A = this chain, B = another copy of it.
Amino acid sequence: MSGRLPKYKQIQEELRYQIQQDVYQVGDLLPSENEMCAHYGITRTTARKALEELQREGYIMRRHGKGSVVVERRNSLGLLTVKGFSDVAGKAVRNIMVAKPHVASWDTSFVFTPSPTEEAGDCYRFTRIRCVEDDAVLVEVSWLDCGLVPGFDKQEFVNGSFFKTLSQCYLIEVLGSEQELQAISAQGTIADLLGIPVGSPILYIAVRYLTNKSGYYIYSKLYCNTSKYSIGNRFLSK
């Protein structure tokens, strides 16, 4: 097992949890790097790494000469982070499997063209709807090479999570993703699943996930009704 997390990650997650639990509230300063060193018995390099990651995740803002300030978290869809859709702050999220994984052929009408190795064989394909408080906000169609995940159509999802299943059952880790965003008009099935009129503007996101199995990708098409929940994003430079 690769098992144990690096120290900086453990500390990062502990701090993130404390922010989520309001131990540190918006505007508060996190402990300084030196205080963290003393508290955890680590060096500044490790403390900094944890804090830099938290900044990248949008939980804090670091200011030279001042410290690490907890920043306001927006009430919008978890977005585009690598692992996809997860937390809409404080709201109940539900997933509905519309079409269970089944063998299909590759869809070619797509921004990302499958690699030749992939296109030669079949793929598994499945469709889910993501709801926030009973509003269907996202239709997600995903597919991946059959060779990558043998028996995937008979495999139960671990905790209902696709990525957890990949990691725990197939040792596949997602290293990153590429996305293309477009505004389009909702058509038949999609409009239907989202419960909106045909022709409504929706956000279409084509995603290609990079995995640790080189040459193999995971593809998703997301159709998102942004009328109630917009897609939030935060970037911090420096």
* Interface of A toward B, CB cutoff 8 Å: 45, 61, 74, 76, 80-83, 111, 174-185, 201-204, 206, 210, 224, 226-227, 230-238
Q: In the complex, which of the residues B174, B236, B237 contacts A237, with contact meaning CB atoms closer than 8 Å?
A: B174
A175 to B86, CA, bound (A): 26
Q: Does B183 lie within 8 Å of A201, measured CB to CB?
A: yes
Assuming the contacts A201-B201, A201-B202, A235-B80, asked whether A224 and B178 have C-beta atoms less than 8 A apart, the reply is no
Assuming the contacts A80-B233, A174-B237, asked whether A224 and B183 have C-beta atoms less than 8 A apart, the reply is yes
Q: Which 10 A-B pairs have the closest CB atoms?
A: A176-B236, A201-B201, A181-B231, A183-B183, A183-B201, A182-B226, A179-B233, A180-B230, A183-B203, A82-B237
Interface of A (DSSP majority class):
strand
Which B residues are CB-close (under 8 A) to A83?
237
Which B residues are CB-close (under 8 A) to A74?
178, 180
Residue of B nearest to A179 (CB): B233
Residue of B nearest to A224 (CB): B183
Which B residues are CB-close (under 8 A) to A235?
80-82, 176-179
Which B residues are CB-close (under 8 A) to A45?
45
Q: Does B182 lie within 8 Å of A232, measured CB to CB?
A: no
Residue of B nearest to A209 (CB): B235
Instruction: Select the residue from A176, A181, A227, A230 with max chain B CB neighbours within 10 A.
Output: A181
A85: shortest Cβ distance to chain B, in Å? 14
Which B residues are CB-close (under 8 A) to A111?
230
Q: Does B230 lie within 8 Å of A176, measured CB to CB?
A: no
A184: shortest Cβ distance to chain B, in Å? 5
A93 to B201, CA, bound (A): 27
Which B residues are CB-close (under 8 A) to A226?
181-183
Q: Does B183 lie within 8 Å of A202, measured CB to CB?
A: yes
A93: shortest Cβ distance to chain B, in Å? 19
Residue of B nearest to A205 (CB): B233
Which B residues are CB-close (under 8 A) to A177?
234-235
Assuming the contacts A175-B237, A178-B74, A180-B74, asked whether A61 and B210 have C-beta atoms less than 8 A apart, the reply is yes
A236 to B81, CA, bound (A): 9
A-B contact pairs, 23 of them (CB 8 A): A45-B45, A61-B176, A74-B180, A80-B235, A82-B235, A82-B236, A174-B237, A175-B237, A175-B238, A176-B237, A178-B232, A178-B233, A178-B234, A179-B232, A180-B230, A181-B231, A182-B227, A183-B202, A183-B224, A201-B201, A201-B202, A206-B230, A210-B236
